[in-house]
A and B are shown apart, each in its own frame.
Chain A
């Protein structure tokens, strides 16, 4: 099992550009999550999903969108990138309290 995979690993965006962060899990987990982690700030929940076709906002959803068309995939969309979205983004999946995290995507918006 590959676990949770994320692409790309790194990306530099210009202000106003759009991009999609990909997340795939092969553990058949119903629950999936997107977090952002800023230095010294812990993990902030952006969006989560309890199953295919069901998504909901987390603590910091502004500027982001998600979809969940399959159990395996949970992409995160940034429509108009802003410098405040410079961060490390982690995707996670779970069937209970143990969340399994991907390796992260480091995004810089200039």
Chain B
């Protein structure tokens, strides 16, 4: 079993739809969870960052972490064509900040159609 599993999609939705993106993981040492967004032919950029179980909201984006189920989600409300990108989940063990090495999922390609 891979450390981080993420459905690569592709996922195609109409503008205004609610989008749900998910990752599961097997390493219980993962303590820090992130979502990166990558536009076509660009480098990834950090979108959301969470530490504890629960929800974190930022505008139209909500990140959810369930450590007991080893499951994280990213919800996008009122999706826009500008949200079309690849979304990568990433996570890190609590290594005391010695290297900040991240383990990435494969990424989900999202297209929001006008």
Contacts and interface: CB of A to CB of B under 8 A. Distances in A.
A97 B43 contact: no
B99 A31 contact: yes
Classify chain B's interface size.
20 to 34
Interface in B8-49: 8, 32, 34, 41-46, 49
Interface in B46-79: 46, 49
A12 interface: no
Contact of B92 (A50, A97, A103): A97
Secondary structure dominating the interface of B: loop
Interface stretch (A14-22, A35-43, A71-79): A35-43
A90 B43 contact: yes
Interface in A53-99: 56, 58, 90, 92, 94, 96-99
B43 A101 contact: yes
A33 B46 CA distance: 15
A29 B41 CA distance: 24
A50 B104 CA distance: 19
Classify chain A's interface size.
20 to 34
Secondary structure dominating the interface of A: strand
Contacts of B8: 40
Contacts of A98: 46, 49
Given A97-B49, A97-B92, A50 B99 contact: yes
B110 interface: no
A34 interface: no
26 contacts: A31-B99, A31-B100, A33-B101, A40-B107, A41-B106, A42-B6, A42-B88, A43-B104, A45-B102, A48-B101, A58-B101, A92-B43, A96-B100, A97-B32, A97-B46, A97-B100, A97-B102, A98-B46, A98-B49, A99-B44, A99-B100, A99-B102, A100-B45, A101-B44, A102-B43, A104-B43
